[in-house]
Structure 1
Amino acid sequence: MIFLKITDLKKEEIKNLLRSSSALKEKRKKKKTHHKLDDTNIGLFFETPSTRTRISFSVGISELGGNSIFMDQNQLQLARGEGLKDTGRVLSKYLDAVAIRALDHQKIKELAKNSKIPIINAMTKKYHPCQALADLQTIQEYKKDLKNLKFGWIGDGNNVCHSNILANSLMNIKTSVATPKGYEPDEEIIQKAKELGGELKISNEPKEVAKDADVLYTDVWFSTGEKENKSKIKDFSGFKITNELVEIAENDVIIMHCMPIKGREIERELVDSQHSVIYEQAENRLHTEKALLIKLLEK
């Protein structure tokens, strides 16, 4: 099985995975060992810098009894022109799974096509499905029932936005997205959300999205691999989570951010406010990734 996008899982599979993740979280709190993946070797292939994804996968693999092997593209023969076809076939001989972080989503698809082991998307410019799983667990922890919640995204229609739109559509969460003009989510994602029966609204007005929201979510304005520029900063003026927007949301609104936090996209005081679940959200990367690895690899 591969996990390249959140829709590679069905709704019931996500529900089961979230239950497993919650159980793993409780076991960790009680310091109970849970070596579900003894004697497995899992490759971590990262083209770009990472804090949460790399460390959460490394720790999760260790806690499950497995071994993680970190691979930098510059240390592999890919840097000297070896193709993904040969790389995928060879890695399949050594490893039990690979989590790969690459800018080009096509590269992950090509590796998966030529591998006989599970391939996990640890982030591309198009999708960030592991983040979406952690987000669902976090929302469920604070809101209990996911169905018909109002989820408001303010900022760039990027990879995390894409994965949340699709995850929310699968789980019957109502999604509203506010981006500056020209930065909307990809049309392909919007159409897929409709196919899944998702309730999705796209606008250019943050206040429309924030009104009565149960969840307010934002991300950095410049994604991994993107150079900062004054033009985009100007375009995004006003597209940040502020106290003013929180006041028109539900009283118990939760604020989410996948991190890193740059400060432009959210007022800093809100990061540490009673509404923020940002650090719990980051922790849940560990638990959902462990649950995912067990699903993909447990014999």
Structure 2
Amino acid sequence: MTDQPPLDVAPVVRNFLDLSDAGGHAIAAMINDAQDRKRARRGWPKGRPDADQPLAGHVLAMVFEKASTRTRISFDIAMRQLGGTALILDSGTTQLGRGESIADTARVLSRMADAIMVRTDDHAKIEEMAHYAHVPVINGLTDRSHPCQIVADLLTVIEHRKALPGLEVAWLGDGNNVLHSILEAAALMKFNVRVATPAGYEPAAEFVHHARSAGSSVTLTQDAAEAASGADVIVTDTWISMGQAHAQEKLAAMEPYRVDANLMAHAKPDAIFLHCLPAHVGEEVSGDVFEGPQSVVFDEAENRIHAQKSILLWCFGKLG
């Protein structure tokens, strides 16, 4: 009788928990593929499958423990355009909300779907999901990082005729999960980041160290104008993350980091403004910047679809 591995022993799969799971060459391949597929679909209805339908017959299970607009819609539309289907699960309507373990959920979903996307609060949960699953697991957002967002951001930057190597990116506000993934991208794609945060709100030291070790310049300052000076890209995010209390102390500390016209004037004349949305106009960004000619936030939002498609193809071994 031939020895066979236990059914629940995971084969080697391509997980996308952080950008480093793919690496710089694969990220570049994702961006190129996303550009090509976006260009090929110009003028088509959003639900029409791509001509090659590379994921026909494949199912993506999407697990949401945090609310979502762009992640939910973009992954759903991405799977439709690639020829596959997506299932939406949340803790309120599944056994996860009644105490079923992540390990058991991962093993069940691996039998019923071809890949799993998770949007949750604790990064340890998605690591546990990936450990027990034997299909690709994708990070749709955790408290540690937001890699899918950054692939869309890099695509947007390139679309607006800015090369990544040597790019000067300025981050204003809270040193959060989105910034962590930007720093990880800087290490992989060889660009520089100036980070302006209030004292006590700096990014995790491991991400700063990793970017610097890879040769990227990372400036940490409490001076918003210093960070924005000569920048190619200005990026911010909401000051109060999902699930946090609306802390007045934090809001007060963030006030000097609002991206307004005066701050944008410190950047290069052709600088662009990014925000992963949802935005709180009047808090982290002023209305004149958010609605102004340098804002590309809705290009960025649309590009979530095209980025998710290339991420999915990489996870399925069809890219890079």
Same topology, TM > 0.5: yes
1:38 aligns with 2:51: no
1:76 and 1:62 map into 2 onto residues whose CA distance is 23
| Structure that is richer in helix per residue | 1
Counterpart of 2:183 in structure 1 is 165
1:142 aligns with 2:160: yes
Conserved in 2, the CA contact under 8 Å of 1:37 and 1:298? no
- Structure 2 residue aligned with 1:243, among 241, 250, 261? 261
Counterpart of 2:93 in structure 1 is 75
Q: In the TM superposition, what whole-angstrom CA distance separates every residue of 1:104-157 from its partner, at most 9, and x where no partner exists?
A: 000000000000000000000110000010111111111342111110000100
Q: Which has the larger radius of gyration?
A: 2
1:146 and 1:189 map into 2 onto residues whose CA distance is 18
Secondary structure at the aligned position of 2:160 is classed as helix
Conserved in 2, the CA contact under 8 Å of 1:154 and 1:206? yes
Counterpart of 2:76 in structure 1 is 58
- Structure 2 residue aligned with 1:28, among 41, 44, 47? 41
Q: Which runs of 5+ in 1 are unaligned?
A: none
Q: CA deviation at 1:272?
A: 1.7
Conserved in 1, the CA contact under 8 Å of 2:24 and 2:188? yes
Counterpart of 2:19 in structure 1 is 6
1:207 aligns with 2:225: yes
Q: Which runs of 5+ in 2 are unaligned?
A: 1-13, 45-49
Conserved in 2, the CA contact under 8 Å of 1:169 and 1:199? no
Q: CA deviation at 1:194?
A: 2.2
Secondary structure at the aligned position of 1:29 is classed as coil
Q: CA deviation at 1:184?
A: 0.3
2:155 and 2:52 map into 1 onto residues whose CA distance is 20
* Runs of 4+ residues deviating >3 angstroms: none
Counterpart of 2:31 in structure 1 is 18
Q: CA deviation at 1:30?
A: 4.3
Secondary structure at the aligned position of 2:141 is classed as coil
Conserved in 1, the CA contact under 8 Å of 2:260 and 2:288? no
- 115-124 vs 72-81, which moves further: 72-81
Q: CA deviation at 1:223?
A: 0.8
Q: CA deviation at 1:298?
A: 5.3
1:292 aligns with 2:311: yes
Counterpart of 2:210 in structure 1 is 192
Matches within 5 A, 1:122-137: 122-137=140-155
Q: In the TM superposition, what whole-angstrom CA distance separates every residue of 1:274-298 from its partner, at most 9, and x where no partner exists?
A: 1111100111110010011112125
1:225 and 1:7 map into 2 onto residues whose CA distance is 27
Conserved in 2, the CA contact under 8 Å of 1:34 and 1:63? no
- Structure 2 residue aligned with 1:275, among 278, 294, 308? 294
Aligned residues: 299
Conserved in 2, the CA contact under 8 Å of 1:153 and 1:178? yes
Taking every aligned residue pair, what percent have the same amino acid on both sides? 36
1:295 and 1:7 map into 2 onto residues whose CA distance is 13
1:154 and 1:143 map into 2 onto residues whose CA distance is 22
**Quick one: which amino acid aligns to residue 35 of structure 2?**
S
1:24 and 1:206 map into 2 onto residues whose CA distance is 37
TM-score (norm 1): 0.97
Conserved in 2, the CA contact under 8 Å of 1:154 and 1:217? yes
Q: In the TM superposition, what whole-angstrom CA distance separates every residue of 1:222-250 from its partner, at most 9, and x where no partner exists?
A: 11111111111111111111111111210
Counterpart of 1:259 in structure 2 is 277
1:248 and 1:229 map into 2 onto residues whose CA distance is 29
